[in-house]
Amino acid sequence: MAIDILMPALSPTMTEGKLAKWNKKEGDTVSSGDVIAEIETDKATMEVEAVDEGVLGKILVPEGTEGVAVNTPIAILVEEGEEVPAGPSSAPAAAPKAEAASASPKAAAPAPQVKASVEKGNRVFASPLAKRIAKDAGIDLSTLKGSGPNGRIVKKDVEAAKAGGGVAAAKSAPVAAYTPGGTTSTPHSTMRKVIARRLTESKTTIPHFYVSVDIKLDALLALRSQLNAASPAEGPDAFKLSVNDMLIKAAAVTLRRIKGVNVSFTDEALIEYNDVDISVAVSIPDGLITPIIRQADRKSLREISTEMKDLAARARAGKLKPEEFQGGSFSISNMGMFGVSSFSAIINPPQAGILAIAAGEKRPVVKDDGSLGMATVMTTTLSVDHRAIDGALAAKWSATFRDVVESPFTLVV
Amino acid sequence: MSTTDFDLVVVGGGPGGYVAALRAAQLKLSVAVVEASHLGGICLNWGCIPTKALLRASEINHLLHDLGQFGFAVDNPRFDFQKVVGRSRAVSKQLSGGVGHLLKKAKVPVFDGFAKLAGTDGKKRKVEVALKDGKSITLTAKNVILATGARARTLPGLEPDGKFVWSYREALVPDELPKRLLVIGSGAIGTEFASFYRNMGSEVTLVEVADRVLPVEDEEISDLARKAFEKQGMKVLTGAKLGTLKKSDKDVSVEIEAAGKKETFTFDRVISAVGIVGNVENIGLEGTKIVVDRTHIVTDDLCRTGEPGVFAIGDVAGAPWLAHKASHEAVMCVEAIAGKHVHPIDVTKIPGCTYCRPQVASVGYTEARAKEAGHEVRVGRFPFIGNGKAIAMGEPEGLVKVVFDAKTGELLGAHMIGAEVTEMIQGYVIARSGELTEAELKETIFPHPTISESMHEAVLAAYDGALHF
């Protein structure tokens, strides 16, 4: 019996996604667990695995299609030798949104562009005029994306391709009509919209409160050198701890030690998390994502380091799974590599705290014996949700974090 | 949800506004309409529809005086002018009521009153409505569509005075048939009234400041229209300069300079049809980011104004001032609000129709505009005299002209004059919207006998030559 393969919901908030790539062709045999397609959501690219086995009878949604609603049939799986039905057995999910959200950003979203050559036999949907202009210009219509009704290739698509000297996707409608000075509008990516919404929500609804401390790093740097020197030169057990790995652990240890910061504020109650899950801000080309080191206080530095390397690499490739960046109980944002002397971060709701870590730099310090000396010092700034965390608690946490970093042996015992 | 909070509030119940509301209801948005006057707007009440009712009557009057060619003889055909006008009003009333029923069926509340934007409440827009009963109410909505329409432009010295000088509004409800009528402006509104009154028996002088009547149409069509008007006994003065109106007790005299000579004429009534201005006053645009340029709200191609969540459609958003443009913008705008993918309007795919006798209809580029735009053109023409149905109908005067791009075969424009062409132009509009070339049009089988066959012949004429001419 033919089975419809539906657009999966890869995260709780996902309503639609882009069908980025088909890894199987029509007619290919599919086994349960095979990766059949890749889906791009607001946050990441994810793989769709086959649940059933059979033959990929028909691809209903061509790759490159944006805005595919969750539960829309995307392909039909048939049994070996079974006739392929013309269409999905289930009706496509009702897409219209009852709620008219703020219209402008929606209208500004790039037009869904349907690659034209979809059907078997590569039928290209194009207007007669588009076909003729393409023929005269020697343009292969199957390389174009259509902007007309149902992805039909129309004159302007071919002319855009001609002007661009090659393959070109039709541009969506221009956004700015009344910007006299001449500007360039780039429609927001889904990630940019999510970042904008969440940060605005955070900074406008959460009363932020900041505590900064200067922390001497020399002991931690010395420990790091010793530990890294103990790593095998190569092989699976080799490791190379970064300062960041150690600060993740230090924050986790501090959160375990000082109660009341690993929390969320809700209107009804203060939620205290039993696990210390640290969200680590990772900058990626079109924005930012926060993969999570779960139960960081219980992990060894080597575990944290290995896990962080893997998460950061996959974050930059857009291949994180939702559960790898959704959740977390406390955040760390490290801009030390950019040489900043201090900064304050915006809380990542529903968390109640985020630690901003600036660069370690050589500064003159007054030593315990009163003499002047030199030390590697970094300024960290803790931002807390003042509804959940009082000033004294934030100060106590910051002081404890400083102690942990300045006497870093707790990180390895 | 309270009864004053909506996803969408539409200001204006004309062919833009009420269509927006109906489409929004179909898409399950909560929507309300605010209308200050009559549902259906100018189109149904003071424009498209009542003029068509009058023009139908004048066409019948013309036929009654031309019955001989069909073998009839009727003695002394006459009419009751107030009944002719009364029928036109009844048609408007029926259709306005129909719009009310449609909105009711779609469960769209209608607020009778004058609306203005009144700032925001959080993420929502506030719309203050001065209700007809003197009370006021504040509506809130995530989105507001301004569809307030337009009204006649008044030039100094040509203000409607309730007696001698009429705008379209007074011209639709005349107290009596003027003996001598001056029509100023030969756009669609001016020529339709000139045609109506001439065919009812008035002596009509049509004055145009441009060098030809129906100046937006193709020149050949303008020429044929002028010849037809003059043949009907209309006086047509183009490139004309109008002096000051001198009003006496019973008539108006004015000096008109045209074709190098000045002459003073006397009229019983004057219709001023010199364009329209957008209704942008007192609707709360002041202090917003909404830009108004020469009485029209500036929008982008998705009808968005400078103020997020506020849209403008139809006449108030600028030319072309056509009901079908307003309705199409309404659907597009609402679908965009509902998050659907929409296609911006291409004005060269909007047809225009003028219901004078003979009718005029067109879409796309005129021959001159096509050349200006850099196209190498192929032009085909076919006159009604070569069309069997037109001759059988007793309507042998007319022309179909098509303009193709010589290189690509794109139908750049189509221009028609003659009987029933307003019903025929959609064929070329479909061709232009669907980007058909001459090849598909040539291969289309047109039914015989129809006047539409001349549309096929015009295409053939542009290429291999017409068969019947």
Q: Which of A108-122, A332-346, B46-60, B112-126 has the lowest mean pLDDT?
A: A108-122
Mean pLDDT of B227-252: 95
pLDDT at res. A273: 93
Return d(Cα A207, Cα A265) in angstroms, integer. Answer: 11
Over 60: is that where the pLDDT of A106 sits?
no
d(CA B131, nearest CA chain A) in Å: 26
Pairing, β B110-121 against β B124-131:
antiparallel
In angstroms, how far is the first alpha carbon of chain B from the final one? 66
Check B142 against A154: CB less than 8 A apart. no
Closest-CA residue in chain B for A136?
Answer: B408
Mean pLDDT of B19-34: 98
Return d(Cα A39, Cα A329) in angstroms, integer. Answer: 28
d(CA B345, nearest CA chain A) in Å: 11
pLDDT at res. A181: 64
Best A178, A183, A197, A205 residue to mutate vs chain B (most B CBs within 10 Å):
A178
Q: What residue type is A338 in one-letter code? A: F
Check B300 against A174: CB less than 8 A apart. yes
Looking at the structure, do residues B180 and B320 belong to the same domain, yes or no?
no
Contacts of A301 (CB under 8 A, 6+ apart): A227, A241, A245, A246, A249, A411, A412
Total CB pairs under 8 A between chain A and B: 91
Q: Phi first, then psi: what are they for B278, rounded to 5°?
A: -75, 150
Looking at the structure, do residues B124 and B10 belong to the same domain, yes or no?
yes
Check B337 against A132: CB less than 8 A apart. no
Question: For the purposes of burial, counting CB atoms within 10 Å of the CB of B248, is it exposed (0-12), middle (13-18) or buried (19 or more)?
Answer: exposed
Check B300 against A103: CB less than 8 A apart. no
Return d(Cα A313, Cα A329) in angstroms, integer. Answer: 22
Check B300 against A177: CB less than 8 A apart. yes
User: pLDDT tens digit string along B255-314?
Assistant: 999 988 999 999 999 999 999 999 999 999 999 999 999 999 999 999 999 999 999 999
Domains of chain A by residue range: 3-84, 114-173, 208-411
Which residue(s) pair with B90 in the sheet? Answer: none
Return d(Cα A74, Cα A72) in angstroms, integer. Answer: 6
Looking at the structure, do residues B19 and B142 belong to the same domain, yes or no?
yes
Looking at the structure, do residues B339 and B412 belong to the same domain, yes or no?
no
Quick one: tokens of B44?
Answer: 């149904």
Q: Does B338 touch chain A (CB under 8 A)?
A: yes
Q: Which of these, B373, B434, B368, B423, lies nearest to B401 by C-alpha position?
A: B368
Which helix (H) or strand (E) segment holds residue B59: the answer is helix B48-64
* pLDDT grade for A391, boundaries at 50, 70 and 90: very high
pLDDT at res. A115: 41
Check B436 against A128: CB less than 8 A apart. yes
Looking at the structure, do residues B365 and B450 belong to the same domain, yes or no?
yes
Contacts of A330 (CB under 8 A, 6+ apart): A251, A255, A261, A262, A276, A277, A278, A279, A351, A352, A353, A354, A355
Over 90: is that where the pLDDT of B117 sits?
yes
Selecting from A100, A175, A176 the residue whose C-beta is nearest the C-beta of B7 gives A100
Return d(Cα B218, Cα B360) in angstroms, integer. Answer: 10
Over 60: is that where the pLDDT of A107 sits?
no
Q: What is the dihedral of CA A74, A75, A76, A80, to 10 degrees?
A: -160
**CA A227, A230, A233, A235 torsion-angle sign:** negative
Over 90: is that where the pLDDT of B43 sits?
yes
Which chain A positions have a beta carbon within 8 Å of B434's beta carbon?
127-128
Selecting from A100, A112, A128 the residue whose C-beta is nearest the C-beta of B142 gives A100
Closest-CA residue in chain B for A111?
Answer: B341
* pLDDT grade for A109, boundaries at 50, 70 and 90: very low
Q: Which of these, A272, A398, A390, lies nearest to A344 by C-alpha position?
A: A398
Question: Which is the CATH superfamily of the domain at A208-411?
Answer: Chloramphenicol acetyltransferase-like domain (3.30.559.10)
Q: What residue type is A114 in one-letter code? A: V
Q: How many domains does chain B have?
A: 3
Return d(Cα A351, Cα A265) in angstroms, integer. Answer: 8
B468 within domain boundaries: no
B469 within domain boundaries: no
pLDDT at res. A119: 40
| Residue with more model confidence, A299 or A79 | A299
Which chain B positions have a beta carbon within 8 Å of A176's beta carbon?
300
Taking every pair of Cα atoms in chain A, the longest distance, rounded to a whole number of angstroms, is 88
B281 within domain boundaries: yes
Check A67 against B341: CB less than 8 A apart. yes
Over 50: is that where the pLDDT of A113 sits?
no
Q: Do domains A3-84 and A114-173 have the same CATH topology?
A: no
In A206-283, alpha helices (H):
218-229, 243-257
Query: ipTM score here?
Result: 0.81
Closest-CA residue in chain B for A149?
Answer: B343
Looking at the structure, do residues B132 and B92 belong to the same domain, yes or no?
yes
Check A129 against B342: CB less than 8 A apart. no
- For the domain spanning A3-84, the CATH number is 2.40.50.100
Over 80: is that where the pLDDT of A257 sits?
yes
Over 90: is that where the pLDDT of A65 sits?
no
Q: Which of A56-60, A360-364, A389-393, B250-254 has the lowest mean pLDDT?
A: A56-60
Q: Does B5 touch chain A (CB under 8 A)?
A: no
Return d(Cα B191, Cα B417) in angstroms, integer. Answer: 13
Give residue B143's domain range.
5-152+277-347
Check A129 against B408: CB less than 8 A apart. yes
Check A177 against B142: CB less than 8 A apart. no
Q: Phi first, then psi: what are they for A298, rounded to 5°?
A: -95, -5
Over 80: is that where the pLDDT of A11 sits?
no
Q: Phi first, then psi: what are they for B133, rounded to 5°?
A: -80, 10
Which chain A positions have a beta carbon within 8 Å of B410's beta carbon?
129, 155
Over 80: is that where the pLDDT of A51 sits?
no
B96 within domain boundaries: yes
Return d(Cα A278, Cα A171) in angstroms, integer. Answer: 41
pLDDT at res. B460: 97
What CATH number does residue B454 fall under?
3.30.390.30
Q: What residue type is A369 in one-letter code? A: D
Over 90: is that where the pLDDT of A25 sits?
no
d(CA A126, nearest CA chain B) in Å: 9
Return d(Cα A304, Cα A297) in angstroms, integer. Answer: 10
pLDDT at res. B331: 98
Q: Which residues of B are catalytic?
A: 448
Looking at the structure, do residues B144 and B287 belong to the same domain, yes or no?
yes
Looking at the structure, do residues B389 and B439 belong to the same domain, yes or no?
yes
d(CA B322, nearest CA chain A) in Å: 22
Which chain A positions have a beta carbon within 8 Å of B304's beta carbon?
103-104, 107, 177
Q: What would be the CATH architecture of the domain defined by A114-173?
A: Irregular (4.10)
Ramachandran quadrant class, B284 (left: phi over 0; alpha: psi -120 to 50; beta: rest):
left
Which chain B positions have a beta carbon within 8 Å of A185's beta carbon?
none
Looking at the structure, do residues B11 and B124 belong to the same domain, yes or no?
yes
* pLDDT grade for A331, boundaries at 50, 70 and 90: very high
pLDDT at res. B114: 97
User: pLDDT tens digit string along B336-376?
Assistant: 999 998 999 999 999 999 999 999 999 999 999 999 999 99
Over 50: is that where the pLDDT of A108 sits?
no
CA distances to B60, B384, B402, B432, B455 from B398, rounded to whole Å, are 19, 5, 14, 22, 11
User: pLDDT tens digit string along A126-147?
Assistant: 999 999 999 988 888 888 888 8
User: pLDDT tens digit string along B149-194?
Assistant: 999 999 998 999 988 999 999 999 999 999 999 999 999 999 999 9
Selecting from A132, A148, A173 the residue whose C-beta is nearest the C-beta of B302 gives A173
Taking every pair of Cα atoms in chain B, the longest distance, rounded to a whole number of angstroms, is 73
What CATH number does residue B302 fall under?
3.50.50.60
Which residue(s) pair with A334 in the sheet? Answer: A357
Closest-CA residue in chain B for A175?
Answer: B300
Quick one: tokens of B334?
Answer: 């609402």
> Which stretch, A282-296, A340-354, B11-25, has highest mean pLDDT?
B11-25
Which chain A positions have a beta carbon within 8 Å of B26's beta carbon?
none
Q: Catalytic annotation on A386?
A: yes
Neighbour tally for A277: CB within 10 Å: 21
Of A152, A208, A386, A396, the catalytic one is: A386
Return d(Cα A236, Cα A16) in angstroms, integer. Answer: 40
B158 within domain boundaries: no
Over 80: is that where the pLDDT of A295 sits?
yes
Check A103 against B142: CB less than 8 A apart. yes
Quick one: tokens of B185?
Answer: 């402006």
Over 80: is that where the pLDDT of A324 sits?
yes
pLDDT at res. A57: 85
Q: What residue type is A23 in one-letter code? A: N
Selecting from B301, B309, B338 the residue whose C-beta is nearest the C-beta of A102 gives B309
| Residue with more model confidence, A411 or B19 | B19
Quick one: tokens of A295?
Answer: 């139960």
Mean pLDDT of B94-121: 96
* pLDDT grade for A8, boundaries at 50, 70 and 90: confident
Looking at the structure, do residues B134 and B37 belong to the same domain, yes or no?
yes
* pLDDT grade for A67, boundaries at 50, 70 and 90: confident
Check A178 against B298: CB less than 8 A apart. yes
Q: Which of B347, B378, B393 is the last residue of a domain?
A: B347
Over 80: is that where the pLDDT of A105 sits?
no
Q: Determine the 3-state secondary structure of B151 from DSSP.
A: strand
* pLDDT grade for A43, boundaries at 50, 70 and 90: low
Q: Which of A110-114, A179-183, A263-267, B353-357 has the lowest mean pLDDT?
A: A110-114
